[in-house]
Amino acid sequence: MPATAKICGLSTPETLDAATTGGASHIGFVFFPPSPRHLSFDKAQGLAARVPGHVARVGVFVDPDDALLDTAIAAGRLDVIQLHKVTPERSAAVKARTGRETWAALAVKTRTDLVSAAGFRGAADRLLYDAKAPEGAKVPGGTGLRFDWNLLDGFAHPLPWILSGGLDAGNVGEAIRVTGAPLVDVSSGIETAPGIKDVDKIAAFLKAVARS
């Protein structure tokens, strides 16, 4: 199966359309105020209405409470919940309560960071391997950092999985070849500045994924 792509942190109609017409399988809306990609519920509602039926809408959260989840799911018409800084127990509770496909993000820097993956078996539908943010960073993802893809070599993935962290049009083909990632996730690699997506970079990234 060829790899597919999630374009994350979208905030304008133009960049959303570039993602959906360019072949993205998933688009991501960020609901986390410290992030430069944070979306208001009103803006999410308008963007969600533009997403065609064959593209899944993913809400990105950092340890959210139930009230935030409920409001964001309604506003963004979310198909998928992506959770950062979450325990398997909380992930399982969100999955059961919302009835939505649930992804749990793992912050990776060393092989040891992969040990916790097994705990999410049954508690999430997919794992998202992302580069570990620097100590003291305000956001857990979207940092433009990548981890050593060779850490995944021979790793027995307990769940379907996604590769994230420092990807762009120039390296995503290699990333897919090295890791065998079935789904790749990009945010900062298609920006001209934090939170400012570029339609040409989105198109180039999706073409690179399609060629892989």
CA dihedral 196, 148, 172, 141 (to 10 degrees): -30
Active-site annotation holder among 8, 17, 65, 200:
8
Residue pair 155/161 in contact (Cβ under 8 Å)? The answer is: no
Residue pair 146/111 in contact (Cβ under 8 Å)? The answer is: no
Active-site annotation holder among 130, 168, 198, 200:
130
Say if strands 26-30 and 191-193 run parallel, antiparallel, or are unpaired.
unpaired
**Does 168 qualify as catalytic in the annotation?**
no
For residue 139, give Cα distances in angstroms to 134, 147, 174: 9, 16, 26
Q: What is the pLDDT of residues 164-193, one digit of tens each?
A: 999 999 999 999 999 999 999 999 999 999
**Does 42 qualify as catalytic in the annotation?**
no
* pLDDT > 80? residue 143: no
At residue 148's C-alpha, the angle toward residues 142 and 149, to 5°, is 90
Taking alpha carbons only, the member of 63, 52, 44 closest to residue 25 is 52
Q: What is the pLDDT of residues 70-123, one digit of tens each?
A: 999 999 999 999 999 999 999 999 999 999 999 999 999 999 999 999 999 999
Structure tokens at 149: 């893809």
* pLDDT > 80? residue 144: no
Q: What is the pLDDT of residues 46-78, one digit of tens each?
A: 999 999 999 999 999 999 999 999 999 999 999
SS3 category, 183? strand
